[in-house]
């Protein structure tokens, strides 16, 4: 197993550790774990492309690991009362739609690469989760809701990226 795939696997292994820490009241430690896992997302893709270490495992598991990481965080934050369930539903619905679209496309021999909207969506979701975990620290100017703003941005980018993927790949539905 090459380094990018090890980083992806590490990200998946960190998810239950993150969840247990968050749900037992260790939000700052869980934030550190989430940040470390998020950094592995940037690293594994960069290393894989730079050193030509792209594998089928990485193509499938890297985006899945991202979705599992963000989804686990958002679901915990719903449970803790920090995020509205409808926002997480919108994010989950988009993720399931795009995973299904990619599966249908793959069955037709088509690979759907990540788009700039999809990447922006993932980054905004990760920033929103981090800000929610650290309760806007050190950005909590007189109750300024920076985490909430980023969560709204994440939801909006989630919808935009979902529409973008469907429109650009509508030919997949004809097959």
**Domain definitions of the chain by residue range:** 3-174
The more confidently predicted of residues 150 and 173 is: 150
**Region 3-174: CATH code:** 1.20.120.1760
Which residues neighbour 44 within 8 Å (Cβ) at sequence distance 6 or greater?
3, 4, 5, 7, 8, 11, 58, 62
Q: Which pTM was predicted?
A: 0.90
Whether pLDDT at 142 is above 70: no
Per-residue buried b or exposed e for 8-21, using 16+ beta carbons within 10 Å of the residue's own CB: bbebeebbeebbeb
Tell me the per-residue pLDDT of 15-54, one tens digit each, with 9 for 90 and over.
999 999 999 999 999 999 999 999 998 899 899 999 999 9
d(CA 63, CA 95): 10
> pLDDT confidence of 131, banded at 50, 70, 90?
very high
């Amino acid at each position: 197993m090459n380094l990018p795939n090890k980083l992806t696997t590490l990200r998946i292994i960190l998810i239950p550790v993150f969840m247990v820490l968050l749900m037992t009241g260790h939000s700052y430690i869980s934030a550190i774990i989430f940040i470390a896992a998020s950094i592995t997302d940037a690293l594994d893709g960069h290393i894989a492309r730079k050193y030509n270490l792209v594998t089928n495992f990485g193509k499938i598991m890297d985006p899945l690991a991202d979705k599992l990481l963000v989804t686990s965080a958002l679901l915990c934050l719903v449970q803790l009362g920090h995020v509205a369930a409808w926002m997480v539903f919108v994010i989950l619905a988009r993720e399931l739609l795009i995973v299904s679209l990619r599966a249908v496309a793959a069955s037709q021999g088509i690979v759907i690469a990540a788009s700039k909207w999809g990447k922006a969506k993932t980054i905004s979701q990760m920033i929103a989760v981090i800000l929610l975990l650290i309760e806007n620290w050190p950005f909590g100017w007189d109750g300024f809701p920076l985490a909430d703003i980023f969560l709204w941005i994440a939801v909006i980018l989630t919808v935009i990226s979902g529409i973008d993927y469907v429109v650009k790949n509508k030919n997949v539905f004809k097959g």
